[in-house]
């Protein structure tokens, strides 16, 4: 079965402690956007993982789906997708942010 790749712009990530609350989300996403990261990637769900590939089809991000504790479109910015990953090794949560060209692409992946 072929994997469906979705072209996205990777906007970055940030780490936070486990006391994260929904009220912190707008601040957190602004912090990620302010980093200036704008990498063109393609994402896919395969083998129980969310994988992001660079232009040479090399995986640059691989996260197990069971470690993702929340994934959603960004409120007020439906073309953006974020997910929160539990990093048990460091005892932190990591929030990753991507932007697709259209809302349809985010809904398909999400």
* pLDDT tens per residue across span 58-85: 999 999 999 999 999 998 999 999 999 9
Residue 102 DSSP label: S
User: Would you state the pLDDT for residue 110?
Assistant: 47
Q: Measured between alpha carbons, how far apart are the two ends of the chain, in Å?
A: 19
- Whether 1 is in a domain gets the answer no
In a domain? residue 88: yes
Question: How many structural domains comprise the chain?
Answer: 1
Task: Tell me what pLDDT residue 1 has.
Answer: 52
Q: What is the pLDDT of residue 4?
A: 85
Residue 24 belongs to some domain of the structure: yes
Q: How confident is the model at residue 94 (pLDDT cuts 50, 70, 90)?
A: very high
In a domain, 75, yes or no: yes
- Residue (of 70, 93, 74) closest to 83 by Cα position: 70
Residue 47: what are its φ and ψ, rounded to 5°? 55, 35
Q: Give the residue numbers spanning the domain of 57.
A: 6-109
Mean pLDDT of the chain: 90
Strand partners, 8: 41, 100
Residue 48, domain CATH = 2.30.29.30
Report whether 20 contacts 93 (CB < 8 A): yes
Whether pLDDT at 21 is above 90: no
């Amino acid at each position: 079965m072929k994997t469906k790749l979705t072209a996205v712009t990777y906007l970055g990530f940030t780490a936070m402690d486990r006391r994260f609350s929904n009220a912190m989300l707008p601040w957190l996403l602004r912090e990620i956007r302010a980093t200036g990261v704008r990498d063109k990637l393609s994402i896919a769900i395969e083998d129980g993982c969310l994988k992001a590939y660079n232009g040479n089809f090399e995986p640059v991000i691989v996260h197990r789906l069971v470690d993702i504790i929340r994934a959603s479109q960004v409120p007020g910015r439906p073309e953006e997708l974020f997910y929160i990953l539990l990093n048990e090794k460091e005892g932190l949560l990591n929030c990753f942010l991507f932007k697709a060209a259209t809302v349809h692409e985010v809904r398909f992946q999400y």
